[in-house]
Amino acid sequence: MIGVAVKGLLGRKTRALLTGLAIILGVSMVSGTYVLTDTINKAFTGVLVSTYKNTSVVISGKEIVKGAASGNATVSAGLLDKVRAVPDVQAAAGGILNFGGSTDLVKLVGKNGATIGGKGGAPTFGFGLDPRYPQFNPMKLASGKWAAGPGQVVVEQGTASKHGLHVGSRVGVSADGPTRQYTITGIAKLGTVSTIGAATIAVFDIPTAQKLLHKPGQLDVISVVGRKGVSDKTLARELAPLVPSNAQVETGADQGHKEAKNITQGLSFIKYLLLSFAGIALFVGSFVIFNTIAITVAQRAREFATLRTLGASRRQVLRSVLVEAFAIGLAAAVIGLFLGLAIAKGLNAIFVALGADLPQTGTVFATRTVVVSLLAGVLVTVLAGIFPALQATRVPPIAAVREGAVLPRSRFSRWSTWIAVALVLLALALLADGLFLASGIAGVLLPLGVGTLLLFIGVALVSGRLVKPLAAVVGSPARRAGGTPGRLASENSTRNPGRTANTAAALMIGLALITFVATLGKGLKASDVSTLKDQVRSDYVMTAGNGFDPFPSEAGDAVAAAPGVVLAASARTEKARIFGSTVDVAGIGPAFARVYHFKWKKGPHEAPQANGALVTKSFADKNHLAVGDLFTARPPSGRRLTFGVQAVFDPGQMDPLFGGIMISRNAFDSGFPRPKNLFTFVNVRGGASDSTTAALKQALGGFPDVKLRTRDAWVANRAHGVDQLLQFLYVLLALSVIVSLFGMVNTLVLSVFERTRELGMLRAIGMTRRQVRRMIRHESVITALIGAGLGLPLGLFLAALVTQGLSSQGVGFHVPVLTLVIFAFVAIVAGVVAAVVPARRAARLNVLHALQYE
């Protein structure tokens, strides 16, 4: 029977290829995701491990506060002399070298005044290195010489080639102050990485880097190599007593792997996000596979009956169908596995287009990628083929001598509606649990994910009963304007409601998810715009270029001195450890309430005093704080600061600009290292105008990465982030729509094959080739519109559920009417495109051969 199955499969190569296309696309997404993320992780790991490969021990400041803008704590430069005095130390060098999440960075500025690199939030590193100790240097000089003075800089090779920088040219440098010009003395490469993406690296001598980054007398790391015969761990134990409490001692190998792990863990969300969309594509593909195999099995009813007559058992028939499914799944998975290499390039191109160009090195094609991709393709195909295979075993041998033999109905078919209703009810219960009862990321996402899958399956099972009423509505234009072909197409779409429903279900899932994203996105954006306008009351808003990072506090001082400015209220920003958690801390001045709307809950309505703190309602509730209570905050430097609760305010739920606590600007500047602004709100005499905008931008000429916008423009720009996210999700969800498109093509091709005699008869009684093509095209469009008729309301329903769950966060429900119309039009276009090949095949049938076909 296996030989029969293989021969039958080879005899139906076209149908096998069409069946496998859905799996090819889904598996290629899985493979491409792993290739892309593994390649990026290898780039980071290679750089960080090689940075410390010649280092015995690394002394560095501890990460007191995770994600702090000023990075880890620093160590005193005086410690370097003490380390060098240890007998087992052969060499030691200090450095300004922070690969962590610090925004304590250095930006390069081109001749046109625009910043170089750093797109999409990519880091702009500034290193301070001692060229006398090349063994500790992660950079390799490609040309020129190392920087050796206050006006010199070395730039990374990829950045130099992209922007036409060379040894001897001048480039602007902006860090914690206005832009200054530096001479490029050398071009260097970072380890073995071929590209660092949109990131940039500027290398200075240590005194220059300390001055630029406001780290006088401080170092990020001290790299040490021990004398011959002294183990790394032994040297680390000898140095530990010299190190202060806010610093740590690690072996070079441990430090490299730890930093690599921190970065790769931070990037893991990209992998899981992309894999989730690959899973959606495979889920949609399973509907396509199921429908295709079910149609094929139905068309081969007499073939199976003949095999049963010749002595084949039910088990052998079952095995033959599953062998076909396995062979199709394996072949499709292998093709998708290697197609993933191209998908990885495409995904990287999407990130580049969105401004998130990531570092890469040689392509990584791991064993895990091969195993997971092949298993995913084979398992999905075999599982989708089980039910059709069981149906094939129910064909009685007597059907071999009957004309028009059909598959017998399953004994469970009468229960299908009840099963569908039960699945829908279970799905709704899981969705309600995830939205209203569960807590924690896993506790919320798991019931939401499983509930959504069950809802799609339940609706797909019951959709067969909805095909006729939906076809009556969406097929009306075809019946009225399409003539006889249109009427026939409408009738054909309801001839086998189950088949039509299964075909439409694949498109239904894709359109439902896209509708859900669009509807929720519109609600998020509308709510975001409303809450931002409610919080900010100034004429202008100053932010960093990406709108979220801190920027030099000197920029706020510069605009405050500009003509016409009546108030420039800055808000410093940093994080601190409070009650064992990382909390946002803002430093504000006494006039801040004139530009920011406080919703006071408790305490006096005034700016924070010397040791007072304004705390958010959520922070106070979580930590059971009342007005007058004291608490301790630990900033990134490791110091301990004590504040008292002065007042409680509510910043709102949807996109609050400030969370955690607010303290006075003086307390912030004295307690937090290297203070920077998150916002500067500006009021001007006479309100915002073009001339005032120009004057303010001129005052900020030395700060190219600081953006000044009117309040309305800033609100629109910040809310535009929702649109960018939607565009990214649309691109990923488009894969599921493409998979469903192949499912429609496949079903139509098999339908044309099944109706060969019927089409021949229509041609014989006068139907033209053009009318045949029109009939198939109308049938495809009707099927696509049935999918849209199921998918769009289902997407709206899911969006309404999630919006209700987020109502406490200020998210409202807004129907994107124009977007939904566009999606319906997309469904029509999908139907037309899917019908091209089947319609041409139907029109080209030889009439005489078709009439003789069985």
Give per-residue pLDDT as tens, 610-632: 889 999 999 999 999 999 999 99
Residue type, 474: V
- % residues pLDDT > 90 (the chain): 26
In eight-state DSSP terms, residue 410 is P
Residue 602 β-bridge partners: 648
SS3 label, residue 719: helix
All structural domains of the chain with their residue ranges: 1-54+252-404, 63-245, 466-534+712-854, 546-704
Q: Which residues of 711-749 are buried (b: 16+ CB within 10 A; e: fewer)?
A: beebbeebbebbeeebebbeebbebbbbbbbbbbbbbbb
User: Is the per-residue pLDDT at 755 higher than 60?
Assistant: yes
Give the per-residue SS3 of 631-691. Answer: EEEECCCCCCEEEEEEEEECCCCCCCCCCCEEEEHHHHHHHCCCCEEEEEEEEECCCCCHH
Neighbours of 509 (CB within 10 A): 31
Instruction: Answer for the pair 645, 609: CB distance below 8 angstroms, yes or no.
Output: no
Please state, in angstroms and rounded to a whole number, the distance separating the CA atoms of residues 454 and 443.
17
User: Which residues make beta-bridge pairs with 633?
Assistant: 641
Segment (H or E) for 290: helix 252-299
Q: Which residues pair with 251 in a beta bridge?
A: 57
Nearest to 298 by CA among 740, 756, 751: 751
Q: How far apart are CA 839 and CA 774, in angstroms?
A: 8
Strands 170-174 and 630-633: unpaired
Is the model more confident about 840 or about 847? 840
Do residues 203 and 138 touch, judged by C-beta distance below 8 A? no
pLDDT at 400: 46
Q: Which helix or strand (DSSP H or E) is residue 143 part of?
A: strand 139-144
714-717 own/partner pairs: CB under 8 Å, 24+ apart:
714/532, 714/536, 714/540, 714/541, 714/543, 715/529, 715/532, 715/533, 715/536, 716/529, 717/547
Q: Are 514 and 704 a contacting pair, CB within 8 Å?
A: no
Q: To which residue do tokens 């704080």 refer?
A: 625
Please state the length of the chain: 854
Helix (H, G, I), strand (E, B) or coil at 466: coil
Is pLDDT at 403 greater than 60 in this prediction?
no
The torsion angle over the Cα atoms of residues 478, 481, 487 and 493, rounded to 10 degrees, is -10
C-alpha count within 13 angstroms, C-beta hemisphere, residue 261: 6
Of 87, 108, 238, 237, whose CA–CA distance to 171 is shortest?
108
* pTM for this predicted structure: 0.77
Whether pLDDT at 405 is above 50: no
pLDDT value, residue 729: 78
Per the structure block, which two tokens stand in for 199? 């990131």
Residue type, 261: K
CB atoms within 10 A of CB 548: 13
Taking the mean position of all CA atoms in its chain, how far away is CA 606?
41
> Out of 214-223, 312-321, 563-572, 803-812, which region has the weakest mean confidence (pLDDT)?
803-812
Q: What is the pLDDT of residues 454-491, one digit of tens each?
A: 888 888 878 888 888 888 888 888 888 878 888 888 88
In this structure, which amino acid lies at residue 689? S
How much is the mean pLDDT over the chain?
83
Which is more confident, 501 or 426? 426
> What's the average model confidence in pLDDT over 517-546?
88
Query: Could you give the maximum distance between any two Cα atoms of the chain, in Å?
Result: 103
Q: What's the rounded Cα separation, in Å, for the pair 548 and 208? A: 27
pLDDT-derived band of residue 397, with 50, 70 and 90 as boundaries? Answer: low
How does DSSP classify residue 570?
E
Residue 84 Cα distances to 40, 92, 98, 136, 211, angstroms: 37, 6, 22, 15, 24
Other CB atoms within 10 Å distance of the CB of residue 135: 11
- The continuous run of DSSP H or E covering 13 comes out as helix 13-51
Residue 441 in tokens: 């990321």
